[in-house]
């Protein structure tokens, strides 16, 4: 945690008075330098891959054996907290340092990986680096420029070589990520850590409600086809349907726009977004369909048009059942109760699931606050997470001995 705090200020931040660390910025390179020093001290050999990820390797009993990857991201959003991402990396370094101090080697190597771009805070992409490692990135996805017009190709990586960061499945045993929860569930349950079951499936729609614009003073109430009032009723229906669902389902309207958007004109059109997520894609689709049916019913009753387009559909990314069991055992061995929870947010583990089995450990953060300088983790919780991580590594080693 002290290392995360150290990385929270200049020269490891690109922003005065707060933390912003963009992919391939001066702060990014400085932070990689600090991490490389800590990795070396922990007994790792350090390299930078073709996607500018920093990787430290702690060799197995048999040199060259496949690796357990332990990672998270080094980049941050603007005015970020200090633990979203880096804590998963520094915990990995601590775990390896404990193994080194104990003279312990395992049947697999351990590679601690600090991914470059996860947040998409500099270039308009997300999880660029874990997708490169997982081998799911297409070459045309690298045709990117930041808001200052600097192309990725001119930002300090060789774009022509970028996709060679991909790992072969044979070189990797599993991927493990410890990350702050960024939600309130662990705090509400008075738990330091939880086993993540997977990353929620997500579907996003754009809805355009068509009414008739009219004079706010002269059009009587009975004669109106108010697109904004119709949209408002639809939004309340979204909340009611999601609240009535007893599963992990969440549904959100986060953006709305009324046209023409004048105080004295009845809105002729309203457009809004809909985002629906659940760990179970069938539950997600059931709720989404109920919501869209409600939209059509409201539009019919109000004689409004309603055009619905599905703009984004991400499948769920389940964690590996065997690894979840090992993580539960390690949690119990650390004297902590077990809680399994779904991640509503995306993480590098989601991209890495295309390469290998994945496991994720969530760590309690105060008030569930993240992407905010007020983000806070108790040092005692980070210590518990380290013990669980070490237990998980030993459990995984034991499954190799029994295999």
* CA gap 334, 257 in Å, rounded: 50
Task: Give the x/- contact pattern for Zn ion in 24-43, rule: CB under 5 A.
Answer: --------------------
- Nearest residue to Zn ion, scored by beta-carbon proximity: 84
CB-based contacts of 160: which residues, under 8 Å, 6+ apart? none
Residue closer to Zn ion (CB basis): 85 or 194: 85
Closest approach of Zn ion to the CB of residue 113, in Å: 14
For residues 40 and 42, what is the distance between their CA atoms, to the nearest angstrom? 5
Q: For the chain, what is the largest distance between any 2 Cα atoms, rounded to a whole number of angstroms?
A: 84
Instruction: Compute the least distance from the CB of residue 84 to Zn ion, in Å.
Output: 4
Judged by beta carbon, residue 59 or residue 181, the one nearer Zn ion is 181
CA torsion 211-212-213-214 (nearest 10°) is: -130
Rounded distance between C-alpha atoms, residue 331 and residue 343, angstroms: 18
Smallest separation, CB 346 to Zn ion (Å)? 9
Under 8 Å between Cβ of 27 and 14: yes
81 binds Zn ion (CB under 5 A): no
Q: Among 56, 66, 85, 279, which residue interacts with Zn ion (rule: CB under 5 A)?
A: 85
**Could you write out the DSSP letters of every residue in 133-185?**
HHT---GGGG--B-TT--BGGGTTS-GGGGGGGPPPGGGEEEEEEEEE--SSH
Q: CA dihedral in degrees (375, 378, 379, 385; nearest 10)?
A: -90
Q: SS3 of 362, please?
A: strand
**By CB under 5 A, which span of 51-59, 84-92, 137-145, 224-232 interacts with Zn ion?**
84-92
- Nearest residue to 90 (alpha-carbon basis) of 39, 166, 139, 30: 39
268 near Zn ion (CB under 5 A): no
Residue placing its CB nearer to Zn ion in the complex, 118 or 226? 118
Query: Looking at 5-13, 79-87, 258-266, 378-386, which segment touches Zn ion (CB under 5 A)?
Result: 79-87
In whole angstroms, give the CA distance from residue 77 to residue 84: 9
238/341 with CB nearer Zn ion: 341
Q: How far is the CB of 359 from Zn ion (least distance, A)?
A: 16
Q: Which is nearer to Zn ion, 178 or 298 (CB)?
A: 178
Total site size for Zn ion, rule CB under 5 A: 2
The verdict on 375 binding Zn ion (CB under 5 A) reads no
Which residue, 85 or 116, has its beta carbon nearer to Zn ion? Answer: 85
| 177 lies in the site for Zn ion, by CB under 5 A | no
Q: Which of 14, 84, 146, 328 binds Zn ion (CB under 5 A)?
A: 84
Closest CB to Zn ion among residues 85, 198:
85
Which two structure tokens, joined as six digits, stand for 231?
């949209």
What is the distance between the alpha carbons of residues 253 and 305, in angstroms, rounded to a whole number? 19
Minimum distance of Zn ion from residue 376's CB (angstroms)? 15
Contact positions vs Zn ion (CB under 5 A): 84-85
């Amino acid at each position: 945690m002290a290392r995360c705090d150290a990385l929270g200020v200049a020269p490891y931040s690109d922003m005065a008075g707060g933390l912003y660390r963009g992919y391939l910025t001066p702060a990014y390179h400085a932070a990689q330098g600090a991490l490389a020093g800590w990795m070396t001290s922990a007994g790792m050999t350090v390299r930078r891959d073709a996607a500018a990820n920093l990787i430290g390797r702690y060799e197995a009993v048999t040199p060259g054996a496949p690796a357990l990857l332990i990672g998270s991201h080094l980049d941050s959003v603007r005015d970020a907290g200090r633990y979203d991402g880096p804590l998963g990396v520094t915990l990995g370094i601590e775990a390896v340092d404990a193994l080194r101090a104990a003279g312990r080697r395992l049947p697999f190597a351990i590679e601690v990986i600090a991914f470059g771009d996860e947040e998409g805070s500099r270039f308009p992409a997300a999880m660029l680096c874990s997708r490169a490692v997982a081998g799911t990135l297409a070459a045309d996805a690298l045709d990117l420029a930041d808001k200052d017009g600097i192309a990725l190709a001119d930002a300090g990586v060789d774009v022509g070589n970028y996709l060679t960061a991909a790992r072969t499945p044979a070189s990797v045993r599993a991927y493990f990520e410890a990350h702050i929860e960024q939600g309130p569930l662990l705090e509400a349950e008075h738990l330091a850590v939880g086993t993540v079951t997977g990353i929620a499936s997500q579907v996003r729609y754009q809805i355009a409600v068509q009414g008739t614009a009219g004079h706010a003073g002269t059009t009587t109430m009975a004669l109106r086809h108010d697109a904004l009032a119709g949209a408002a009723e639809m939004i309340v229906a979204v909340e009611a349907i999601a609240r009535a669902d007893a599963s992990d389902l969440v549904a959100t309207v986060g953006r709305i726009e009324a046209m023409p958007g004048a105080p004295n004109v009845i809105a002729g059109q309203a457009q809004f977004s809909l985002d629906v997520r659940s760990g179970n894609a069938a539950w997600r689709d059931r709720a989404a369909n109920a919501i869209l049916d409600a939209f059509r019913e409201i539009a019919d009753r109000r004689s409004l048009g309603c055009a619905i387009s599905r703009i984004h559909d991400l499948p769920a990314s389940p964690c590996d059942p065997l690894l979840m069991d090992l993580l539960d055992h390690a949690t119990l061995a650390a004297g902590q109760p077990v809680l399994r929870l779904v991640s509503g947010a995306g993480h590098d583990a989601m991209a890495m699931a295309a390469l290998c089995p994945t496991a994720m450990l969530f760590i309690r953060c105060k008030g569930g606050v993240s992407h905010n300088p007020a983000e806070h983790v108790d040092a005692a919780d980070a210590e518990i997470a380290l013990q669980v991580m070490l237990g998980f590594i030993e459990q995984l080693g034991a499954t190799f001995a029994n295999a």
